Amino acid sequence: MENASNIQAVTLQLPTHRRYQENLDLLLELIEKHHDKKLIIAPEVVLTGFDYERMDTVAKFSILALKSLKKAIKDQIVILTLILQKEEQFVNQAVVIHQHKIVYRQNKTKLFALGGEERFFTAGATRSIKIFEIEGVRYAILICFELRFKDLWKRIEGSDVVIIPAKWGKPRKTHLETLSRALAIMNQCYVIVSNSTDEDMACASAIISPNGEVTQDDSQTSIAGKIDMREIQKMRRYIAMS
């Protein structure tokens, strides 16, 4: 799939259809299609969207979807967010699936007021945003709106790859592109954005290098690229930040 220095990655740029199962079937199909990719990123709540009128149903489907995804995912690393229920509260949770299990979870901490998220979700704790490691690579996740907060950038400083699953609106597309590129340059790491292609969404899914080079194509369902660990090391030696 790759050597120790290279990770083949793909970020998915997808709409969310009304039928949840249709979304899950497409995601499983794309995971199989990209069987040669080690890292696969899907947009925020891609399987159900923010279907606030049916939150109980959404949460139950998310549990079933996780079972299907865990069964399908072995050597790959797949990252997406789902709406899950804990006791009487709903959370928007990023999950990292690898070797048939969830190896990392992180609840969204910064809820988007313009979308009314705080009326439906319980925010995660900021301290839960941290770097996690898989096979020697240091990953971190910021979920959509969280990209805007400089205190969260500080929490993930030193990560090799920052993952941003998003459902980011079209009117603020430039913000998504500018912030994600700035984060890659500032943290001297790769940033991978996976955003929705719903009609009112910004697309702008991208793989961004530590030098700020952007691989992006708003017309495509999948944007593939390579994470070269040597590039991270080279950039951090070339411009020492500490």
41 residue type, one letter: I
- What pLDDT, in 10s, does the model give residues 99-109? 999 999 999 99
Q: Sign of the C-alpha dihedral, residues 40, 102, 167, 65?
A: positive
- What pLDDT, in 10s, does the model give residues 135-187? 999 999 999 999 999 999 999 999 999 999 999 999 999 999 999 999 999 99
Q: Which domain holds residue 134?
A: 6-238
- What pLDDT, in 10s, does the model give residues 16-59? 999 999 999 999 999 999 999 999 999 999 999 999 999 999 99
Residue 1, in any domain of the structure: no
**Closest-CA residue to 70 (of 47, 41, 102, 37):** 102
Residue 148, in any domain of the structure: yes
What's residue 160's pLDDT?
98
What's residue 36's pLDDT?
97
**Residue 76: CATH number of its domain:** 3.60.110.10
| Residue 122: DSSP 8-state | P
What does residue 168 show for φ and ψ, rounded to 5 degrees?
-100, 130
Q: Where are the alpha helices (DSSP H) in the chain?
A: 20-33, 55-72, 150-155, 173-187, 229-238
Residue 97, in any domain of the structure: yes
- What pLDDT, in 10s, does the model give residues 197-235? 999 999 999 999 999 999 999 999 999 999 999 999 999
Residue 106, in any domain of the structure: yes
The CA-CA-CA angle for residues 97, 140, 2, to 5°, reads 60
Domain count of the chain?
A: 1
